[in-house]
């Protein structure tokens, strides 16, 4: 592997405290999660080198810390209003990359976007990618993100070979699936609570080019969705569907794709001239506007149902081309709800969820449905498991939205399903414990000095 910067291997010095007139963390009111519904003052610091992490973790002013990245989590799992945030985006260096074997090691603050720009020209891609490339490597591990190829590749954690963890006691630990396996399983999907992830080494996937052969398949019902999803498992590496949640009929648009060998291996360009400059008024997203959008979206995709060749940035990251798209939901922000329903319960639970959403009159136009495969997730708190997952974005209407989500919880709970912490800002403690029966095993590996608003809410 070609080394680009040597690892810091000495123990972290957590003992020095700041001088009386020196503040390592500053207060900020503009630190928000992607949903922008939680607005709390945060203490924040952004180190540039790993040697700076020790004094930050050792600062006694704020006994609890949380390492964060680009904060694409929707709720409060990336916030620590009672402690302090260590912003890892300054630690974004590529440490080593072998273009022959596809092994890469980088600091935890490196974004997937930055990594892809380096590896795609060599014919490599990350084994699993979420729906945005603006997520850090550490964040991808901490949330054990999943993608459109879960039915074959599993979660992001399945490609992690090793990770470097700084604990609050000053110890630097290298955890792998074979060395420190319990700490490894707690850290993958562990929401940043087992310590500061300093670097991650992953196995990449070989690709023949930077384009995908994409097939667009409209469907009229949930039964039709499950049929085409089952048919696609052996045919397509990547699958996902948009679903209309306004009508409650279960119609939608399914896409499946495989890598295409034509078109070259040029990486994407992050420069974008499209942005949402201001917050939309709160009334902009309502049942009528979303119903009109859904009708237009469905009809357009019905008209162009066919095969297309798309660059990976278009297929995997359609919303990344519109910067600050979360402002569409207005000043009150949005709440996302993502659940997974296990096989055997989906035929009853999914129609019930769609019917409840339709009856509520609340609008979710970014509704995504997908099936998860059988490959076990490596983390104790990993969300994906065999079944069907549904992800929904709702404009935040405070008690009205929370009441709807409570009713959705009841359906998911009865089906033995689970909710996704990375998308959550209000999950009840009992729902968290039902979703993650190994949470007490995880708690034994939690770093006592790491905390988050999410963990305080669900663990007490």
Q: Are residues 321 and 177 in the same domain?
A: no
Q: Are residues 174 and 220 in the same domain?
A: no
**For residue 60, is it within any domain?**
no
Phi-psi region at 261: left, alpha or beta (left = phi > 0; alpha = psi -120 to 50): alpha
Q: From 207, 241, 268, give the residue that closes a domain.
A: 207
Instruction: Please report which confidence band the pLDDT of residue 22 belongs to, taking 50, 70 and 90 as the band edges.
Output: low
* Widest Cα–Cα separation across the chain: 67
| Total structural domains within the chain | 2
Instruction: Please report which confidence band the pLDDT of residue 170 belongs to, taking 50, 70 and 90 as the band edges.
Output: confident
> What are 54-75's pLDDT values in tens digits?
999 999 999 899 999 999 999 9
Domain that holds residue 257: 211-435
> What's the rounded Cα separation, in Å, for the pair 153 and 61?
43
H-helix or E-strand spanning residue 54: helix 53-58
> What's the rounded Cα separation, in Å, for the pair 110 and 88?
8
Q: Are 370 and 148 in contact (CB under 8 A)?
A: yes
SS3 (DSSP) at 348: helix
**For residue 56, is it within any domain?**
no
> What are 86-95's pLDDT values in tens digits?
999 999 999 9
Tokens of 249: 């009929």
Q: From 207, 241, 270, give the residue that closes a domain.
A: 207
* Residue carrying structure tokens 């089952």: 230
Higher-pLDDT residue of 187 and 10 is: 187
Q: Are residues 331 and 260 in the same domain?
A: yes
Residue 293: its pLDDT value, please? 74
**For residue 14, is it within any domain?**
no
List the one residue out of 452, 382, 448 whose CA is nearest residue 171.
448
Q: Are residues 279 and 161 in the same domain?
A: no
* Residue carrying structure tokens 């979206």: 297
Q: Are 244 and 251 in contact (CB under 8 A)?
A: yes
**Mean confidence (pLDDT) of the chain:** 91
What is the end-to-end Cα distance of the chain in Å, rounded? Answer: 45
Instruction: Please report which confidence band the pLDDT of residue 5 belongs to, taking 50, 70 and 90 as the band edges.
Output: very low
**For residue 281, is it within any domain?**
yes
Q: Are residues 373 and 259 in the same domain?
A: yes
Q: Are residues 202 and 217 in the same domain?
A: no
Please give the average per-residue pLDDT across 41-46, as a whole number: 96
SS3 (DSSP) at 98: strand
Give alpha helix (H) positions in 205-344.
Answer: 222-232, 287-303, 312-316
Q: Are 144 and 425 in contact (CB under 8 A)?
A: no
**For residue 18, is it within any domain?**
no
Residue 16: its pLDDT value, please? 46
**For residue 136, is it within any domain?**
yes
Q: Are residues 120 and 244 in the same domain?
A: no
Residue 263: its pLDDT value, please? 86
**For residue 351, is it within any domain?**
yes
**For residue 59, is it within any domain?**
no
342: domain CATH number is 3.30.70.2520
* Residue 39: Cβ-neighbour burial (10 angstroms; 0-12, 13-18, 19+): middle
List the one residue out of 344, 370, 363, 244 whose CA is nearest residue 296.
244
Q: Are 426 and 335 in contact (CB under 8 A)?
A: yes
b/e string for 72-100 if b means 16 or more Cβ within 10 A? Answer: bbbbbbbbbbebbbbbbbebbbbbbbebe
Q: Are residues 284 and 312 in the same domain?
A: yes
The lowest-confidence range among 111-115, 147-151, 303-307 is: 303-307
In this predicted structure, the answer to whether residue 19 has a pLDDT above a threshold of 70 is: no
Residue 4: its pLDDT value, please? 40
Residue % of the chain over a pLDDT of 90: 81
Q: Are residues 224 and 347 in the same domain?
A: yes
99: domain CATH number is 3.30.465.10
Q: Are residues 121 and 250 in the same domain?
A: no
> What are 391-449's pLDDT values in tens digits?
999 999 999 999 999 999 999 999 999 999 999 999 999 999 999 999 999 999 999 99
> What are 319-370's pLDDT values in tens digits?
999 889 999 889 999 999 999 999 999 999 999 999 999 999 887 878 999 9
Q: Are residues 300 and 403 in the same domain?
A: yes
Where are the strands (E) in 334-444, listed by range? Answer: 334-342, 368-372, 387-395, 418-419
Q: Are residues 241 and 364 in the same domain?
A: yes
> What are 266-322's pLDDT values in tens digits?
999 998 768 887 777 766 777 777 777 777 777 777 777 788 999 999 999 999 998
> What are 218-236's pLDDT values in tens digits?
999 999 999 999 999 989 9
Residue 13: its pLDDT value, please? 47
List the one residue out of 154, 118, 114, 119 whose CA is nearest residue 138.
114
Contacts of 178 (CB under 8 A, 6+ apart): none
* Residue carrying structure tokens 């939205």: 401
């Amino acid at each position: 592997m070609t080394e680009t910067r040597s690892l810091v291997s000495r123990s972290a010095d957590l003992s020095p405290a700041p001088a009386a007139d020196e503040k390592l963390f500053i207060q900020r009111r503009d630190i928000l999660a992607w949903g922008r519904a939680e607005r709390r003052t945060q203490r924040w610091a952004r180190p540039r080198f790993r040697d700076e992490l020790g004094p930050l973790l050792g600062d006694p002013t704020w006994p609890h810390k949380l390492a964060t990245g680009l904060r694409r989590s929707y709720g409060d799992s990336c916030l620590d209003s009672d402690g302090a945030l260590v912003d890892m985006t300054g630690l974004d260096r590529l440490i080593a990359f072998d273009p022959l074997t596809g092994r890469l090691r980088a600091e935890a603050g490196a974004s997937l976007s930055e990594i892809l720009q380096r590896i795609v020209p060599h014919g490599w891609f990350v084994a699993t990618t979420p729906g945005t490339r603006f997520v850090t490597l550490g964040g991808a591990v901490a949330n054990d993100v999943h993608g459109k190829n879960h039915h074959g590749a599993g979660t992001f954690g399945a490609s992690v070979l090793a990770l470097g963890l700084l604990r609050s006691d000053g110890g630097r630990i290298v955890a792998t699936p074979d060395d420190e396996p319990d700490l490894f399983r707690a850290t993958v999907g562990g929401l940043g609570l087992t310590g500061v992830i300093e670097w991650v080494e992953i196995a990449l996937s070989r690709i023949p080019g930077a384009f995908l052969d994409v097939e667009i398949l409209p469907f009229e019902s949930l039964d039709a969705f499950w049929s085409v999803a089952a048919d696609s498992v052996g045919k397509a590496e990547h699958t996902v569907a948009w679903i209309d949640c306004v009508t409650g009929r279960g119609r939608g648009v399914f896409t499946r794709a495989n890598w295409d060998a034509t078109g070259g291996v040029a990486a994407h360009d992050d420069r974008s001239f499209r942005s949402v400059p201001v917050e939309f008024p709160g009334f902009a997203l309502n049942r009528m506007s979303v119903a009109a959008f859904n009708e237009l979206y469905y009809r357009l995709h019905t008209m162009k149902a066919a095969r297309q060749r798309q660059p990976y940035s278009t297929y995997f990251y359609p919303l990344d081309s519109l910067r600050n798209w979360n402002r569409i939901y207005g000043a009150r922000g949005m709440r996302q709800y993502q659940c997974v329903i296990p096989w055997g319960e989906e035929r009853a639970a999914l129609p019930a969820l769609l019917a409840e959403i339709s009856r509520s009159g609340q609008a979710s136009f970014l509704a995504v449905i997908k099936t998860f495969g059988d490959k076990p997730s490596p983390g104790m708190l990993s969300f994906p498991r065999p079944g069907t997952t549904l992800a929904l974005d709702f404009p935040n209407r405070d008690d009205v939205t929370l009441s709807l989500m409570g009713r959705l919880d009841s359906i998911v709970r009865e089906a033995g399903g689970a909710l996704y912490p990375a998308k959550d800002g209000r999950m009840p403690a009992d729902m968290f414990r039902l979703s993650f029966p190994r949470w007490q095993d995880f708690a034994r590996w939690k770093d006592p000095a790491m905390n988050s608003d999410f963990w305080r809410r669900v663990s007490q």
